[in-house]
Structure 1
Amino acid sequence: MTPKFATINNETHRKFRIKNHTDFAHIQGQHLAPIALHEFVKTATSLPVVFVKPQNGDDFHAVVMMGLKPGENLVTNGGKWNGIYIPASIVIYPFSLARTPNENKEEFVLTIDENSILISETEGHPLFDEEGKGTDFLENCKKTVTEHFDHIQVSKHFIGTLAKKDLITESSLSVNYGDQQEKVNIGGIFSIDEKKLDALPAEEFEELRKQGLLPAIYAQLASLHQIHRLHNMSLSENPVS
């Protein structure tokens, strides 16, 4: 079902309750999901972390790969999450933040996907009490979504730093299967250029270290080995007859 996000209010959504995540149907057809800088290390243990550049856009965005091609999600097979770490962008659903049309300053409001299967009027966590006041659950959701948004802003600064130093390059991803190497051509995928990273002047490398960026950088590079895991998962999904 097509998402329908709307600003949360105590009239339209007075009876809304949010069920616990029992499956991940809302990302079943997605092969990429946004990820923040502080999640790189945790995610790299099971899934590839890469960068993408939207069409007609100049900025790179960090994402986790859940499949090798658009529409393919190998991590949510059977509705269950088969990875080790679940990215915050997936956990915060069905909530999100949206900018308000305020010309004087940047403001955001909490929104909800009204078409989400997690919404119920009979079970789950209520958003409002009988008097229409936001519940502790709703306040905690606001806090979590806002924190994730802040982490994404930090990530944008980090990625911008890498881009300015020309450390992000388009990747040619390959996988090993059996005794032969099979090339997996995935367009539009970018990674940190390890050779350029190693060739950085000592003072620039030290600058990255002082900013605490090295763990995320090396986690991103190491995560590319998880391409093999996704490939093996795709083979198990499509066995040769």
Structure 2
Amino acid sequence: MATQPPANSLPIFYGGLEPLSSNQHGNYRSRPAQKAPFLANTHAVPITIDEFVACQRFFPIAFSSGDTPVPLALMGLNEGVNVFVEDDGALRGEIYVPAYIRRYPFMLARLRPDADELSLCFDPTSDLVGPYEEGHALFDDGKPSEATNAILKFCEEFEMSAQRTAAFVEELKGMDLLMEGEVSIQPAGVEQPFIYRGFQMVNEEKLRDLRGDELRKMNQSGILPLVMAHLFSMTLMREIFGRQVQQGKGPAIPVETNGAAAF
């Protein structure tokens, strides 16, 4: 879940990673985020399986392409489009905010590829952490403050959830249930449908063809409810499409359609 980025890459949102240290950051404070400008141009955010139920109410849940798929909350259908965030980073209405967003600008990361332990780091390019007068102190007499301990606990819980998520994805791969996804949205009054690809999803046909004992095992292990949450959430694709059109961030379609779309 983007906690061990390649040497020449960083997780999304992060402009850098610096270990939090009482020696170097003893006077630093963490300011609460009123807006999330870093999110405005992000259309897909990693999520964990512990968030599937909450996320499926608002976002389609898809899986990234490639050999190591990651569950994603789709906040837009096109690169650079987020229908839930204003250009200045203010949220549009009440929505569930994924934990990946809430932990920013902090995260646990390995300082070296061969390191066993994860260290609490932050993004030094963020204006949410720094030697400010306001905000929550990160250290108290050289020791981690209550705020820092709470941040560390949140990041640790996120890591454990990320590990469970990776195991869940491996189960899906082992059962050969993931396939390359394709969604066709046909707005009224438009000749050609809009086709969206570049993600993976559960193959419903293969799911229906599973033996009863396999389905029972998936249900007992908690995998089946997660799969169903993912499949139910995909019906929100057309709603996201409609929001893009209404906000002027989607394809141009006749005004009389009001952004309505059907699969």
The equivalences for 1:101-112 within 5 A come to: 101=112, 103=114, 106-112=116-122
* Alignment deviations for residues 120-172 of structure 1 (CA, whole Å, 9 cap, x no partner): 4121111112x221101100100101101110110111111111111111111
1:67 shift after superposition: 1.3
Contact 2:62/2:200, CA 8 A, preserved across alignment? yes
**Which position in structure 2 is the counterpart of 1:63?**
72
Contact 1:31/1:69, CA 8 A, preserved across alignment? yes
| Runs (5+) with no aligned partner, structure 1 | none
The equivalences for 1:12-161 within 5 A come to: 12-54=24-66, 58-78=67-87, 79-82=89-92, 84-101=95-112, 103=114, 106-120=116-130, 121-129=132-140, 131-161=141-171
Is residue 188 from structure 1 mapped to residue 201 from structure 2 by the alignment? no
Structure 1: 4+ residue segments shifted above 4 A = 179-182
Q: What secondary structure, in the 3-state scheme, does the structure 2 residue paired with 1:197 have?
A: helix
Q: Distance in 2 between matches of 1:34 and 1:75?
A: 16
* Alignment deviations for residues 61-110 of structure 1 (CA, whole Å, 9 cap, x no partner): 1111111111222221252223621110000111011114374x621101
1:179 shift after superposition: 5.8
Pair 1:74–1:181, CA change in 2 (3 A): farther
Q: Distance in 2 between matches of 1:144 and 1:182?
A: 46
How many pairs were matched up?
Answer: 236
Higher RCO (C-alpha under 8 Å, 6+ residues apart): 1
TM superposition score normalised by structure 1: 0.90
Q: Distance in 1 between matches of 2:188 and 2:106?
A: 43
Contact 2:99/2:158, CA 8 A, preserved across alignment? yes
Q: What secondary structure, in the 3-state scheme, does the structure 1 residue paired with 2:35 have?
A: coil
**Which position in structure 2 is the counterpart of 1:226?**
236
| Runs (5+) with no aligned partner, structure 2 | 1-12, 256-263
Pair 1:156–1:182, CA change in 2 (3 A): farther
Contact 1:176/1:228, CA 8 A, preserved across alignment? no
Contact 1:173/1:183, CA 8 A, preserved across alignment? no
**Which position in structure 1 is the counterpart of 2:217?**
207
1:32 shift after superposition: 1.1
Q: Distance in 2 between matches of 1:80 and 1:163?
A: 37
Is residue 172 from structure 1 mapped to residue 177 from structure 2 by the alignment? no
CA RMSD of aligned residues (A): 2.1
1:180 shift after superposition: 5.6
